[in-house]
Structure 1
């Protein structure tokens, strides 16, 4: 399939200023050997050609412009889409197991500006005939307390959000003296997107809200949704829409599967075709059979490669530390954490009530040492240290938290909902 589509992909890409400059007078051949010699496209390439240097269609054919959330080093990257790109994007999203219908009320609690995912969920919900609640994650009017009210009053059945959000809602509900489920009696599913989600955190969210949790993985510059879940809950990369490669950053070589940085070539993109684009995401990609029968690789998203830390001779990613934290028994009540690596040792900080602090420290330390070796430390902090509960009720701002950091000195600015002060590490 890829061999049939690649000539057209390279021809479309050659219509952009960037790839015309890179390829020369004509696009390269789509043979495996010549394709593998094409240099990787990077986020810096996109930034350097801002705004229109990557566009491969006439300006009149462009339907929308978006940017990434800017969480990678170097800032946001731009992305254009045609109307046809949007149809194809919604088709990919609808493949996932969220199964939206006209009986659903869908709360969209992700940013609408400037990323694509909010518009994608909104569009897919409307195509299904669902009622949409556009509870933008960056609106000053949409506090966490307000979100709880909407979940309850509008009988929301599906909520799309960063995986951090349902934990913040749960803490807010508890502060207000209610269980999370009391605010969401009809909630059947949370669609988690925008951050890696470990199996343990997924189980914790499902336990808190007594509902199913599904994952949508992607990024704005590639056309949003790169992967979705099959009926068995396995995250599959849409390899009929993207040609995936796994890059070993140490050797610069790529393989069809394995552990490394995800590189993709867009197979159907019109406005902004990308050839061998280095997403910067650390993944594990596998073609092992799945019970669903889909002929698509499974993908485990580990985090941003650049944000991994070196511990015990290996690179450790945020989802791996997260797995250890949320493997703690739910009755211990641990919701929030941060970790910092320095001089080969990892320190994990979590919030817990004093009555269970010793047990939390003992259990988590065993998990952290299994993961990152001896010499690692666990600090159990009083509730409200990482997430100020009173500010949680008042705040409306949500940024992606930086859970795992490294370097001399632990970072400040640990508050989840509020942006870090100017000049403070995030």
Structure 2
């Protein structure tokens, strides 16, 4: 197993506990001293920061902050940032709730890509190799972060976010990219386009060895099919604007022995707690909400920030382990006809070649019942099985528990999605 930092990755026992506790106390006190948000938040909650001396007292005395708290502070104190801010990063707003503003200091920017560098080193990439970046560069953190992560690892970024899908495929081959950073949704569309163009990476001598997924959950069979087609290992990294980039990543791949792989937390950069709805740490094997505390961020550190993402904890500790491929938004769950429906389960049933993408509309029928209309975009150049729609409908009914109406859209109808996908729209009269 490849090592990125021999010193921290070998820490165990007393040394790891001492490192974590010292870093936690320092991060918390710096947040109180330097962060306008945290001074306001801790004052509002009457938090005694000085009572925290280790992780146990930290969990007992420090409340979980949430997106709503950030947004409330921004509304009460618009434009309030530190004097030493050098960049402003926005969240993508994919939750539909609002966009947080995250100020970055020179200290933050110097370490912006470090988490991503761990991800690339663990996957076996070496300095000087090329990595294709498909996430657009904008005022959100994603673009600057992926650039910085490539540079931190000594990789050469190939910026492909301005070209068409066919042009990106050509650049992947022309520049001999060893890695590619991409969302599952866009990798699915890119694969369909490569097949349409008659490209076979296995036979073309492709240099691609590692595909880095982020932003969305994905199915095991789908990931295996991507590995088979591209002849490259699928990896996953998880991070967010609030964590200043990747804080957990796979080492040996997102799929292991036809099952989900393991995400390894980067414990010396971020404390990752997994909590149940009552705020209690879950046991290994259980799912809970990701709650993060960044240990190095200065502009707007995340101190016990509830991400609203659910994950399965496999092993606790300084370098904790989590189940790859299963991170999903807690608020993504939709109750339809009395059933809890997770969009990721529908993704797994629908997103197969030749389906390029889909949209789901939940609405109230004339008789008052709830219905779901699925609109599929299918690759016009593909050889479509006449039973495809029936097979998808039966798979959805079997795995999700309700029937959905399925229609087919003309090829090119749906926009390509380079960030986190937003496929579901709720138009019910009563929600």
TM-score between both structures, scaled by the size of structure 2: 0.75
Offset from partner CA, 1:137-192 (integer Å, 9 cap, x none): xx4xx2223222322322222221222222222333445x4226388832222212
Map 1:223-238 → 2, pairs under 5 A: 223-231=244-252, 233=254, 234-238=262-266
Structure 1 gaps of 5+ residues are 410-426
Structure 2 gaps of 5+ residues are 1-16, 255-261, 364-368
Counterpart among 111, 118, 124 of residue 136 in structure 2: 111
**Secondary structure class of the residue paired with 2:296:** coil
Cα distance in 1 for residues equivalent to 2:25 and 2:78: 18
Offset from partner CA, 1:66-90 (integer Å, 9 cap, x none): 1111211222212233344345443
Q: CA deviation at 1:406?
A: 3.3
Counterpart among 148, 158, 161 of residue 179 in structure 2: 158
- Judge conservation of contact 2:89–2:102 (CA < 8 Å) in 1: yes
- Judge conservation of contact 1:201–1:322 (CA < 8 Å) in 2: no
Cα distance in 2 for residues equivalent to 1:214 and 1:403: 24
Partner of 1:384 in structure 2? 411
Partner of 2:95 in structure 1? 72
Map 1:113-132 → 2, pairs under 5 A: 113-132=138-157
Cα distance in 1 for residues equivalent to 2:405 and 2:205: 34
1:262 aligns with 2:275: no
Q: CA RMSD in A?
A: 3.6
**Secondary structure class of the residue paired with 1:245:** strand
Map 1:403-418 → 2, pairs under 5 A: 403-408=423-428
**Secondary structure class of the residue paired with 1:402:** coil
Q: CA deviation at 1:201?
A: 3.2
Aligned length: 385
**Secondary structure class of the residue paired with 1:246:** strand
- Judge conservation of contact 1:338–1:403 (CA < 8 Å) in 2: yes
Map 1:303-318 → 2, pairs under 5 A: 303-311=328-336, 315-318=340-343
1:282 aligns with 2:310: yes
- Judge conservation of contact 2:333–2:343 (CA < 8 Å) in 1: yes
Cα distance in 2 for residues equivalent to 1:282 and 1:53: 31
Q: CA deviation at 1:108?
A: 1.3
- Judge conservation of contact 1:312–1:372 (CA < 8 Å) in 2: no
Counterpart among 181, 198, 218 of residue 219 in structure 2: 198
Cα distance in 2 for residues equivalent to 1:246 and 1:128: 29
Sort the Cα spacing of 1:218 and 1:197 in 2 relative to 1 into closer, same or farther, 3 A: farther
1:147 aligns with 2:173: no
1:13 aligns with 2:31: yes
Offset from partner CA, 1:3-39 (integer Å, 9 cap, x none): 4433222211112222222323852522636743533
Cα distance in 2 for residues equivalent to 1:196 and 1:276: 23
- Judge conservation of contact 1:309–1:341 (CA < 8 Å) in 2: no
TM-score between both structures, scaled by the size of structure 1: 0.76
Sort the Cα spacing of 1:37 and 1:147 in 2 relative to 1 into closer, same or farther, 3 A: same
- Judge conservation of contact 1:81–1:271 (CA < 8 Å) in 2: yes
Cα distance in 2 for residues equivalent to 1:386 and 1:118: 26
Partner of 1:424 in structure 2? none
- Judge conservation of contact 1:112–1:119 (CA < 8 Å) in 2: yes
